[in-house]
Amino acid sequence: MILQPKNPNNRLSAEHALFVGSSGSGKTTGVKQVGVINATDQVALFDPYLDYEALCGREIRRYTSLAAFARALFSARATKTGRGFKIAYSPKDGANAKNLEAFSRVIWGAGDGNHKKPLKVVFEELAKCVTTSGAARGAFGEILTGGRKFGIHAICIFQRGQEVPKTVMGQCSIKWVGKQQREQDAVYLAREIGLPVDKIIALPKFHYLMKTDDHNIGQFDEGKLRKLAA
């Protein structure tokens, strides 16, 4: 049985985000730093390689069992005060399509358009977990296309644009682009995201371009990450 989210709310805005860059370019650091996640947020993480010890100064509660993760998530979401939390699922057998889908089903069921706070969901190692670069399928696809109405904000992290479903590029209103290893990857992202290819090619490690719905065509922000303690 697939749990269904509650209270569809069309007034909620689309706030999915993507972080794309070569290994070590600063994606995980960027997620912690550029304001998509704050200390008091309710956050669930698919974190197969234990990339997060803490998040915005808050400890992570980590589970290797999906059932235990789901219990912790649903009980934290049920708290009336809407207190923040950071809860991770780190499956023992790592990043794969089966684990992403099982995690996504739990997340989908925790969506609630009338909840005090959105549920922010970090998807690390997305490319290892998807089997298509066409449309995103299953519960993960549902989250991308329908999560907005239920207050679910997906944060998708991957190394190369070509490796993930086109739905990810299409549905993420916040786009963070870090250093690329190969020119053809930069060209792909420039076309899909609408950023100048020369700017992407010139990015050093820990520098990024970021584009949100507030930017008009041709506009974007440029920035550099700080080194974080944890």
Ligand X SMILES: Nc1ncnc2c1ncn2[C@@H]1O[C@H](COP(=O)(O)OP(=O)(O)OP(=O)(O)O)[C@@H](O)[C@H]1O
Helices 97-109 and 138-146 sit at what angle, rounded to 10 degrees?
50
Asked if 180 touches ligand X (CB under 6 A), the answer is no
Assign 144 to helix, strand or coil: helix
**Site string (157-196) toward Mg ion, x via CB under 5 A:** ----------------------------------------
Distance CA 211, CA 214 (A): 8
Amino acid letter, 32: K
Within its chain, how far is the Cα of 55 from the centroid?
A: 14
Residue selected from 23, 53, 93, 204 as contacting ligand X according to rule CB under 6 A? 23
**24 binds, options Mg ion, ligand X, none, Cβ within 5 to 8 A by partner type:** ligand X
Return the residue of 18, 25, 126, 140 that touches ligand X, per CB under 6 A. Answer: 25
The one among 5, 19, 26, 28 contacting Mg ion by CB under 5 A: 28
- Please write down the long-range contacts of 221-224, taking CB distance under 8 Å and 24 or more positions apart: 223/34
Element (H, E) at 180: none
Task: Please identify which residue in 16, 20, 27, 200 interacts with ligand X, judged by CB under 6 A.
Answer: 27
What residue ranges bind Mg ion (CB under 5 A)? 27-28, 51
What residue ranges bind ligand X (CB under 6 A)? 21, 23-29, 159, 206, 225-228
